[in-house]
Amino acid sequence: MSLPHAAMPPGPRTPVLWQTLQFVVRPKEYAQKIHRKFGDVMSFHSLLGKGIAVFEASLAREVFAAPPDTFEVVPAVGGLFGERAVIATSGALHKRQRKLLNPPFHGPRIKALLGTMQRVVRQHLEPLGRVEKGSVVKMTTITQAMTLDVILETVFGAALERDLDRGRRVLLAITHGFSPSLITTPKLHTPLFPPWRRYQRARAEFDAWVMDLINERRRKGEVGEDLLGLFLSTRYEDGEPMGDDEILANLLTLLLAGHETSAIAIAWATYWLLREPEVLTRLRDEIEALGPSASVEQLARLPYLGAVCSESLRIEPIVTDVVRRCRKPLAIGEWTVPAGQHIAVMLGAILADPRVYPEPERFRPERFFERTFHAGEFLPFGGGQRRCLGATFAEAELAIAIAAIANEWNLTLADDGPERAVRRNITMGPAGGVRVKVLGRRRADVPT
């Protein structure tokens, strides 16, 4: 049966390059502008190609409920992460990979990593106790170093200690080499384009470093109990192991996504807590009610802490949209996206929609106790079959870091004005880095 077809919805008629630049450089402001002008559905034409963008929760839910084989990833993603990366595959291969990779990122495996997360978080906050009272520091500087070590240690384990400096250097190089321009079109994946050359050099260094670690484990006959060990030992249903190219591609995806996005999320959450003293006080009361002998598992399950984390991800989404290319026509509302064109779900616009979140500009964790939001409404990690594989990991890390910052340190914002979100690479981060004044330790009974 053929799908109903209507003419494409209205949309901006500005040049392709201009639309692309607006989506990349100022996505929040541009989304608000075109949403006001064209409504919940609009057509667009960017360097990715033509397509339809949706700004409304029920339409997003329709997109995410579509069969997985409806979509394919935009080609530039495979060139960046590797064709065998789970973020780049689609169809039967993607389903097979998700089934294999889901267990390490849920349940007992995540619980086993909570203690490591808490220890590394506290190690990176400890230097705050040695600065002069009233000193100003950037939270992003702290959180980037923090999440870098969290992801390195949870992926590669304690055995990485002697090679930690190399790991930091390699991962920072590839993070800094990741330009948003590389996502827009595969045509920029050429040695003639300087950002691509930088990224390729960093990628080659990353691959060489990880293969050194893999080969050493194989020589010793010990794969290890960390995430790299799980990648080396796990098998598909037919007994086939993951190939080296697949391991490299998925480790790169995990390390890039798990480092930068978490660092920005922690910095934003700190900003909003310090802006809202009543929220900070309630959170501290909840944490202190656990008592000094509470486990990290109990801490991570605190309901108000969870609401604070969710509200921070809502009000400052790290990724503002998700785009998929349609393999076949896709009916959305009264419109049909033709095969070969794109569907974009405007995550940031939906998370700020007053029809779903009254007074969306206010930081109100309580809204997550007042109602339950369905998958098309609360979607900081995307949705459907391609929802972020590491979402549970990221939520746990955010909760543990925010609990430590809120309950163990006295900080205040150093700047009176609001922070502005700017493009960093694929993420939207605070322009000023969240500058805070360090007033000292709040509690002296916390292990370091």
Q: How far apart are CA 383 and CA 183, in angstroms?
A: 20
- Residue from 102, 394, 403, 67 nearest 260 by CA: 394
pLDDT of residue 445: 66
Tell me the per-residue pLDDT of 66-95, one tens digit each, with 9 for 90 and over.
Answer: 988 888 887 788 888 888 888 888 888 888
How wide is the angle at C-alpha 188 spanned by C-alphas 183 and 190, nearest 5°? 130
Structure tokens given for 319: 């990724």
Dihedral sign, CA of 308, 314, 317, 323?
positive
Q: Where are the domains of the chain?
A: 16-441
Strands, E assignment, 254-362: 322-326, 330-332, 335-337, 342-345
pLDDT of res. 313: 96
CA dist 40 and 50 (Å) reads: 17
DSSP state at residue 127: G
Look at residue 1 in the predicted model and tell me its pLDDT: 40
C-alpha distances in Å from residue 108, one per residue of 70, 149, 392: 33, 21, 12
Write down the pTM of the prediction: 0.92
- Tokens representing residue 211 in the block: 């293969």
For 376-406, write each residue's pLDDT tens digit.
Answer: 899 999 888 888 888 888 999 999 999 999 9
Specify the CATH superfamily of domain 16-441.
Answer: Cytochrome P450 (1.10.630.10)
Closest listed residue to residue 422, CA positions, set 414, 413, 433, 430: 430
Task: Write the single-letter amino acid at 447.
Answer: P
**Is the Cβ–Cβ distance between 416 and 136 less than 8 Å?**
no
Q: How far apart are CA 439 and CA 422, in angstroms?
A: 28
- The β-bridge partners of 409 are 441
For the chain, list residues with pLDDT below 50: 1-4
H helix intervals, 180-223 = 181-184, 194-220
Strands 136-138 and 330-332: unpaired
Between 244-275 and 277-289, two packed helices, what is the crossing angle to 10 degrees? 110
Distance CA 268, CA 433 (A): 9
Phi–psi pair at 184, nearest 5 degrees? -70, -35
For the chain, give percent helix, strand, coil, nearest 5: 55, 10, 35
Distance of alpha carbon 238 from alpha carbon 258, whole angstroms? 29
Nearest C-alpha neighbor of 43 from the set 73, 13, 67 = 13
Which residues, 6 or more positions from 14, have their beta carbon under 8 angstroms from its beta carbon? none
Count CB atoms within 10 A of the CB of residue 37: 11
d(CA 166, CA 88): 27
* Residue 103 per-residue DSSP state: G
Kind and range of the H or E run holding 435:
strand 435-441
CA 56 – CA 45 distance, rounded (Å): 20
Please give the Cα distance from 16 to 48 (Å, whole number). Answer: 9
User: What's the rounded Cα separation, in Å, for the pair 425 and 237?
Assistant: 36
